[in-house]
Structure 1
Amino acid sequence: MEKHYRPTEIKLHQASRFLDIAFDDGRHFSLPCEYLRVYSPSAETRGHTPEQAKLETGKEMVTILDLKPVGNYAVKIIFDDGHDSGLYDWKYLYNLGKFHDELWQAYLDKLAAIGYQRKEPELPPPRQA
């Protein structure tokens, strides 16, 4: 049977561009807004097949303007670049936290493959507890 994780706290830090999420299993993730934006679950970003996925660039300074709860299962994230589609359900957010290092490296590898140079913002690394 699949475990269903539920957040116990969600806190947005707009100045540092991080979203802190604590889950009911005791895990805590602090996820950068850029990471959440480039891994948006929307069809606009992910496509309908892996081949249709869009590689997002230029999102280093993106921040979250608002979080809108969707029932008891997800949150809609509204970014300052106008992106507001896609629902981040609890399992998706949990997995973004749990697999942050692998997913972030995969993103960096894709950027390197197209010769894109990220403009590193002054941010602390993501924290996990």
Structure 2
Amino acid sequence: MTPSVTGLKLKQGSRVLEVQFDNGDHFVLACELLRVCSPSAEVHGHGKPVLVTNKREVNIVKIEPVGNYAVKLVFDDGHDSGLYSWKVLHEMGRNQEALWADYLARLKAAKASREPMIPLKVQFFDPDQS
């Protein structure tokens, strides 16, 4: 039987979500891990997971309860389609080292980055304006 969540504490400054379960388990999950391993169809695709990149600084902006079995996490990049059931959160907590190692390996294989995309403001030099 999956333990139930008895406490959620979002620490936006350190970008982590602390999750406490009724069996005594306690996990600290990085917002980045929660985002890149989202249980949403958008991330999992149709049987082939999509590699989510550039999320090192992603944060959770809102936690919405879904019945008494899950929460919907709203991220500051607009992602909000994954339902994090108590089972999903518990499994992520128990397996976060393996999930993280797999994610880093997939990033490396794809030559992708965790670093956020930086919007560039390009200014062109106009020789007639000098």
TM-score, L = length of structure 2? 0.86
Alignment of 1:39 onto 2:37: yes
What is the Cα deviation at residue 119 of structure 1? 3.7
- Partner of 1:86 in structure 2? 82
What letter is aligned with 1:47?
G
Aligned CA distance change for structure 1 residues 69 and 61 (closer, same or farther; 3 Å): same
CA–CA distance in structure 1, aligned partners of residues 103 and 82 of structure 2? 19
Q: 65, 68, 75: which is aligned to 1:69?
A: 65
What is the Cα deviation at residue 118 of structure 1? 3.2
CA–CA distance in structure 2, aligned partners of residues 117 and 56 of structure 1? 9
Note the residue ranges of structure 1 that are not aligned, 5 or more in a row.
121-129
Structure 2 SS opposite 1:59:
coil
RMSD: 1.2
- Partner of 1:14 in structure 2? 12
- Partner of 2:28 in structure 1? 30
Structure 2 SS opposite 1:9:
strand
Larger Rg: 2
Identity %: 51
- Partner of 1:115 in structure 2? 111
CA–CA distance in structure 2, aligned partners of residues 20 and 74 of structure 1? 15
Aligned residues: 116
What is the Cα deviation at residue 47 of structure 1? 1.1
Higher relative contact order structure (alpha carbons within 8 Å, sequence separation ≥ 6):
1
TM-score, L = length of structure 1? 0.86
CA–CA distance in structure 2, aligned partners of residues 118 and 71 of structure 1? 33
What is the Cα deviation at residue 115 of structure 1? 1.4
